[in-house]
Structure 1
């Protein structure tokens, strides 16, 4: 049976991916820091959908945690057919106000983890001639948004480059770039989202449905929802300075008050 590994699986898009993949009949390896919550989710999905669901508690901000997931992905006896790199977090304020240690942790979780886990998973997929990697980025990758936007831009560019290298191998690579998604992310980061227009909110399950459809179509970059496609189209013709002003204003209005948990 096909197996998928999802990081950041207990909340937000990670949980939505886990639900969708279990419903589709895939066995699951679920990664997050909260072992108790992870075990509960695995048991629920296994009972409801009749699939294997294995919790793998790991703190992806540490070498030990990353190494444990790398080891599972590289196991030739238990191949992983789909990797969803979803774990991530946000920081409040600009890079000059955020502690440098937190900025470096963000780069590790958003960039190093994606690089290392993809590198661990892809060789086995290539041997089998099939597989896929979904790297969750953000529309912030396309606008000036400090370290968060820069790290998500790296995810998009890395995915595009890896996709080119894997052409003809049977392995698909895709960067998922959603806008504001109604999940636990904002509440856990203590973000005041009351002034965000309702039309900008996306549903997590619909985002995942779009992602799976675009992956099947072999799209390398997926931007869910026509509204955000239109916004990004407009962003391409705006001067960088204007984008920066809009992005800074959005950061003041909607930015997290404190660091979210990178190891959910």
Structure 2
């Protein structure tokens, strides 16, 4: 079985690669940093004896999913498990976020997820099923989040997209899982800043990925690793939306620079 992991150069993506390799999966790793991918791939080949191919692509660029699939065709690789992990976030007042940054975020967090899924799922089905998709969302996707407006909206899309596809493919031997972690110790917070964790305890990437793979094995629709994260995620949608948003603002404003 071959798994394709996006955003594989660090964080959850690299951890998915390590744990899937330990399960005996061959891998295709995609990220912007070729050097990091090469280093990770070499270690995985040596330790687990699996095939690992790497492709350097920026998924913020239009047409990137098509280029990834063209590379797969060139080397004759069929993907059985797609892990749409690549993503990044922005935090702060919407009008102060650098121009184009949120557009790039939506390209990576939404457009590439849809594009790669659409391009790879038909072949999985044609082979008789047995494949699947893991889409990495976030607990931010369970409610509107002021000062994380585009990020939370993108992750809400990932969750709903994943759940809808799972229902479409029930009975067709193709699994779809949404992984919705809370704050996780990855390079994500190197970009948006430690304050974006909003005081929450960060989970290690290894524990998050183990929870995801357990949920995938059990054919769950989504999983929220961590008891506190799961409780908050399941309570939020049951409150009035305006109340949820107002409460979220009181929490997320901690990300702002002190006035």
Question: Cα gap change, 1:249/1:72 in structure 2, threshold over 3 Å: closer, same or farther?
Answer: farther
Alpha-carbon distance in 2 for matches of 1:91, 1:233: 24
Q: Counterparts in 2 of 1:98-109, with a 5 A limit? A: 98-109=97-108
Q: Which fold has the larger relative contact order, with Cα–Cα distance below 8 Å and residues 6 or more apart in sequence?
A: 1
Conserved 8 A contact 1:16-1:208:
yes
Alpha-carbon distance in 1 for matches of 2:251, 2:161: 26
Alpha-carbon distance in 2 for matches of 1:196, 1:235: 18
SS in 2 for 1:133: strand
The equivalent of 1:116 in structure 2 is: 115
The equivalent of 1:144 in structure 2 is: 144
The equivalent of 1:35 in structure 2 is: 34
How far off is 1:192 after superposition? Answer: 3.6
How far off is 1:206 after superposition? Answer: 1.0
The equivalent of 2:163 in structure 1 is: 160
Q: Does 1:196 align with 2:195?
A: no
The equivalent of 2:242 in structure 1 is: 241
Alpha-carbon distance in 1 for matches of 2:75, 2:221: 26
Alpha-carbon distance in 2 for matches of 1:224, 1:216: 15
The equivalent of 1:55 in structure 2 is: 54
Deviations 1:102-150 (A, max 9, x none): 2221111111100000011101110112101000000101111211111
How far off is 1:77 after superposition? Answer: 4.0
SS in 1 for 2:249: helix
The equivalent of 2:182 in structure 1 is: 179
Deviations 1:127-176 (A, max 9, x none): 11210100000010111121111111111111111112212221111111
Alpha-carbon distance in 1 for matches of 2:135, 2:61: 19
Alpha-carbon distance in 1 for matches of 2:225, 2:73: 31
Instruction: State TM-score, norm by structure 1.
Output: 0.88
- Which runs of 5 or more structure 2 residues have no equivalent in the other structure? none
Question: Cα gap change, 1:72/1:131 in structure 2, threshold over 3 Å: closer, same or farther?
Answer: farther
The equivalent of 1:5 in structure 2 is: 4
How far off is 1:79 after superposition? Answer: 1.1
How far off is 1:72 after superposition? Answer: 4.2
Conserved 8 A contact 1:70-1:116:
no
Conserved 8 A contact 1:191-1:255:
no
How far off is 1:195 after superposition? Answer: 6.7
How far off is 1:97 after superposition? Answer: 2.6
SS in 1 for 2:38: helix
Deviations 1:217-240 (A, max 9, x none): 111111112221111233234333
Conserved 8 A contact 1:4-1:82:
yes
How far off is 1:251 after superposition? Answer: 2.8
Question: Cα gap change, 1:194/1:237 in structure 2, threshold over 3 Å: closer, same or farther?
Answer: closer
- Which runs of 5 or more structure 1 residues have no equivalent in the other structure? 257-264
